[in-house]
Amino acid sequence: MAKHSNKLVSLLVGASVAASLTHAADGELQKVMKARGLSEIDVVRAAKTYNPSGGRDEFVVFSSAGQAGQMIVYGVPSMRILKYIGVFTPEPWQGYGFDEESKKVLRQGNIRGREINWGDTHHPALSEKDGKYDGKWLAINDKANPRIAIIDLADFETKQIVVNPVFKSAHGGAFFTQNSDYIIEACQYAAPFDDNYHPIEDYKEVYRGGATMWRFDTKKGRIDTKESFTIEMPPYMQDLSDSGKGVSDGWGFTNSFNSEMYTGGIEVGMPPNEAGMSRNDTDFLHVYNWKKLAELAKDPKNVKVVNNHRIVPMEVAVKHDALFLIPEPKSPHGVDVSPDGEYITVCGKLDTHASVYKWSKIKELIKNKDYAGKDPYGIPILDMKKSLHGQAELGLGPLHNQYSNVDGEIYTSLYVDSQIVKWNYKTLKVLDKVNVHYNVGHLCGMEGKSADPQGKYIISLNKLAIDRFQNVGPLHPQNHQLIDISGKKMDLLVDMPLPLGEPHQAVAIRAEKLHGHVRYTMGTNSREDKIHEGKTLAGQERVERDGNKVKVYATMVRSHINPERITVNKGDEVTFYITNLERAQDEAHGFTVDHYNIHASLEPGKTSSIKFIADIEGVFPYYCTEFCSALHLEMMGYLMVKDPNKKYESTQKKKMQTMSPEQLKAEYDKTVATNAATDAVIQSVVKFLKENKYEKHKVVADLVTDAMDQYGKIAEEKKKSDAALKAGDMEKAILFENMIWQYMVKTADVGIRAKDALVRLVATKQSAAAAAGEKAFGEGGCGGCHVIGKVSSGPDLTGVLQRHGENSEKWVKDFIMNPEKMYTEPYVKGMIDYFNLRMPNQHMDEAETKNIIEYLKWVDQNANLF
Ligand code: K7E
Ligand code: CUA
């Protein structure tokens, strides 16, 4: 036994938990711990993050994927990745950027006519109602090409991309205001608002920063660009922002890091930007009344228009007391408003302090026009000391903050120290620190920036992983670390390598707030939330030709694409409209035509289109790219592109061997008989499901719906088969009977899954020993010969514990452990003769054997279910 008398153990889990764990660790757990070199605290941490198969997480995290231009979705506490979402970058799995509908979204992100196929995503934001996450919309910014994208959390698809018309880069977004009326996006590198050349010498006069207030329609889930406007700001290099909430609702806060207005010039012998931009002791926190500015912007007198976009000039904002500056320690990074909106914490990455500003003090100074001075642009400066609640000495390189459910509790990342520090922004006391690996940037609390933080966990989004994972080459995975914050001391639970980077920030939401759909209304254009013009139902499949434009209206359903053969002329413009007719959960199909660089993902009910010029001659298979059923490989067809100017010699048709009428009749009868037998199995499952009231269990009812969808298609095929038979086309009748069998297999497949699920739901609860026994039964290979409830290559084991008299249990135990010794017993001998098989010794130990017997008891208790 590996004894780890670790001080940390008693400290973190308490002596009693550790003791009971030691106790539980007798046996198998002990063995595993020893084999894998795990300490007791490791096992506790594993248990805190482990999800059994089928288990769900309490929180869902949306992480930016940095230069990958995507979003990453994962669960907490398991840290299992659930999805990547294509946002600014094409993502072929989802057909994103490869089908026409998603290309339209991606192309909304063109800048000045130029296609841009990547993004530098930094800050995701979840839509809010009263400052709390409502689980409806997700926004994310692109720093490199200043854009904001909107993702719908009903289907996790990107629906809109808007380009900032005046900024040339943008970092301080996306941040929703507390009722999602606006999304804040602050500039980063100051540049001229117009698209012209302006020499760098004109920096102070012409280059500008600012904050764009994107108007958001919470019902439609779209940004309304016409109703949006930008607040002009000095060229101070605005950085992160946050929206006020609660008492500070209506206001915005944006950091900056170049109040020096330095513009570099290494090449002409000037010190580099890093020196010039961090010369002053302080930079400026911008404080602006966006609500008032939104009102002002309605009057054309108060705005100037650049690139069709309204800008509220600094003079106007100043004149109406809507823009202020407060000094903050130099080159800060994060600014984070507390859940009630009263405290605003700014981290100066070059300063060891966090500065906590107090909204009521700021408000008072503004009200009294108590200014410490003005900046070169005439913006009033509030006194730093008078605005501050206080400062706390945290450590080296404080960057970002998150809140927990405990009043006053705040967590801050320390980039240089590679630590997370827990402290109190009211008392300004440091409470705890934990090491992370390495150089943490953002951190993510559970709803940790909303008005209702949930506590429990903090995720450390580290910039470097260095030695934490298997070496996969010089480009390392990213490292997200999950920290348990429910105790007095923080406890680092687990590392998660992330294979996309660099994920600057992540936001977490309670899983129960998300209500993703499982299917679309039939024929939906998912990117526009409306019925697709190319929607095609079963029976409506067709090819339409108009000059050199060919439109194919196709459907996909297990396991065929209709139509299956399409011939076009070289040079034709070909559009496929494809509808997935499935309603069954998870029955997505994919579609591609080889060599034409197109791909669509068709989830149940979706219609997508793909379009290309058939400019190369030849034969091009098209097929389904998702392994959707046993006959997935058969889910294909041919696009044949012929050159209208060429003459093609027809090859002599080879005479195919045909069957005699008698042979055909025999095959037909056999197929019909197989179908009847399969239907009997289906009917027995249906009977079982009905008797056990399947409709009471949603999971099972959903599966039954899927199964009946398949079964419902049989009547139509039967009609076709009968018609063919009547017309004397036996060959065709057989093919339709085969199609019937396909639908039956699909029905049975889902039906049996439903039955298994129902058995689990209505059976008596398994004891731990019985569950372990079932596992041993499965893993030990017993199921190879014994099927519960059925005689297969070995006897049915229901009732085995009653079959051998009073000492049945002992008999079964002996037989499992030493079958060879009993081969000559008359009963066993009889069985060996009957099955022509001997029960082999599977080398089960005593404990496993005991558990298997417990499992068999459970089987007997529920014998009526098998
Ligand atoms: Cu990397 Cu928020 Cu863009 Cu800090 S940001 S670390
Ligand atoms: Cu549909 Cu594979």
Residues pairing with 549 in the sheet: 546, 573
More confident residue, 832 or 461: 461
Residue 602 CA, ligand 2 centroid: distance in Å: 10
Q: Is the pLDDT of residue 759 over 80?
A: yes
Residue 570 CA, ligand 2 centroid: distance in Å: 28
Which ligand has the nearest atom to the CA of 506? 1
CA distances from 803 to 65, 731, 750, 799 (A): 62, 52, 34, 6
| Least confident piece of the model among 65-74, 336-345, 525-534, 681-690 | 681-690
Q: Phi, psi at residue 483, to the nearest 5°?
A: -120, 130
CA distances from 501 to 59, 64, 70, 141, 508 (A): 21, 8, 9, 15, 18
Q: Which atom of ligand 1 is nearest to the CA of 400?
A: 4
Ligand 1 site-directed mutation target among 415, 436, 504, 507, most atoms within 8 Å of CB:
504
| Least confident piece of the model among 185-194, 346-355, 393-402 | 346-355
CA distances from 861 to 764, 786, 857, 866 (A): 8, 18, 6, 11
Q: Is the pLDDT of residue 9 over 70?
A: no
Mean pLDDT throughout 150-162? 98
Name, of 364-373, 623-632, 762-771, the range with top average pLDDT: 364-373
Residue 122 CA, ligand 1 centroid: distance in Å: 7
Longest dimension (CA), the chain: 106
Read off the pLDDT band of 521 (50, 70, 90): very high
Q: Which atom of ligand 1 is nearest to the CA of 463?
A: 6
Residue 405 CA, ligand 1 centroid: distance in Å: 24
* Ligand 1 contacts CB of residue 463 (under 6 A): no
* Ligand 1 contacts CB of residue 449 (under 6 A): no
276 Cβ partners below 8 Å, 6+ apart? 260, 262, 263, 264, 270
Residue 582 CA, ligand 2 centroid: distance in Å: 11
275 Cβ partners below 8 Å, 6+ apart? none
Residue 360 CA, ligand 1 centroid: distance in Å: 28
- Taking the C-alpha atoms of residue 169 and residue 194, their distance in angstroms, rounded to an integer, is 13
Q: Which atom of ligand 2 is nearest to the CA of 556?
A: 1
Which pLDDT belongs to residue 24?
52
Token reading at 650:
């027809």
| pLDDT tens sequence across 670-715 | 999 999 999 998 999 999 899 989 988 888 888 898 888 889 999 9
Q: Is the pLDDT of residue 8 over 80?
A: no
More confident residue, 654 or 57: 57
Which ligand has the nearest atom to the CA of 462? 1
Q: Are 149 and 140 in contact (CB under 8 A)?
A: yes
Which ligand has the nearest atom to the CA of 580? 2
Tell me, rounded to whole angstroms, the distance of Cα 485 from its chain centroid.
24
State which H helix or E strand residue 461 sits in.
strand 457-462
| Least confident piece of the model among 12-26, 165-179, 383-397 | 12-26
More confident residue, 726 or 764: 726
Which pLDDT belongs to residue 295?
98
Q: Which atom of ligand 1 is nearest to the CA of 505?
A: 2
Residue 104 CA, ligand 2 centroid: distance in Å: 25
Q: Which atom of ligand 1 is nearest to the CA of 461?
A: 6
Read off the pLDDT band of 18 (50, 70, 90): very low
Residue 234 CA, ligand 2 centroid: distance in Å: 56
Residue 591 CA, ligand 2 centroid: distance in Å: 8
* Ligand 1 contacts CB of residue 122 (under 6 A): yes
| Least confident piece of the model among 293-307, 565-579, 797-811 | 797-811
Read off the pLDDT band of 791 (50, 70, 90): confident
- Taking the C-alpha atoms of residue 344 and residue 612, their distance in angstroms, rounded to an integer, is 53
Residue nearest to atom 3 of ligand 1 (CA): 122
Percent over 90 (pLDDT), the chain: 76
- Taking the C-alpha atoms of residue 346 and residue 349, their distance in angstroms, rounded to an integer, is 9
Q: Are 532 and 538 in contact (CB under 8 A)?
A: no
Read off the pLDDT band of 657 (50, 70, 90): low
Q: Phi, psi at residue 347, to the nearest 5°?
A: -105, 125
* Ligand 1 contacts CB of residue 349 (under 6 A): no
Q: Is the pLDDT of residue 1 over 50?
A: no
What's the whole-number average pLDDT of the chain? 92
DSSP state for residue 352 in the 8-state scheme:
S
Side-chain half-sphere CA neighbours of 268 within 13 A: 4
Read off the pLDDT band of 859 (50, 70, 90): confident
- Taking the C-alpha atoms of residue 632 and residue 636, their distance in angstroms, rounded to an integer, is 8
Question: Ligand 2: residues whose CB is within 6 Å?
Answer: 589, 624, 626-628, 632, 635
| pLDDT tens sequence across 391-412 | 999 999 999 999 999 999 999 9
| pTM summary value | 0.82
Residue 656 CA, ligand 2 centroid: distance in Å: 30
Residue 502 CA, ligand 1 centroid: distance in Å: 10
Which pLDDT belongs to residue 795?
86
Q: Is the pLDDT of residue 17 over 50?
A: no
* Ligand 1 contacts CB of residue 240 (under 6 A): yes
Q: Which atom of ligand 2 is nearest to the CA of 559?
A: 1
DSSP state for residue 320 in the 8-state scheme:
T
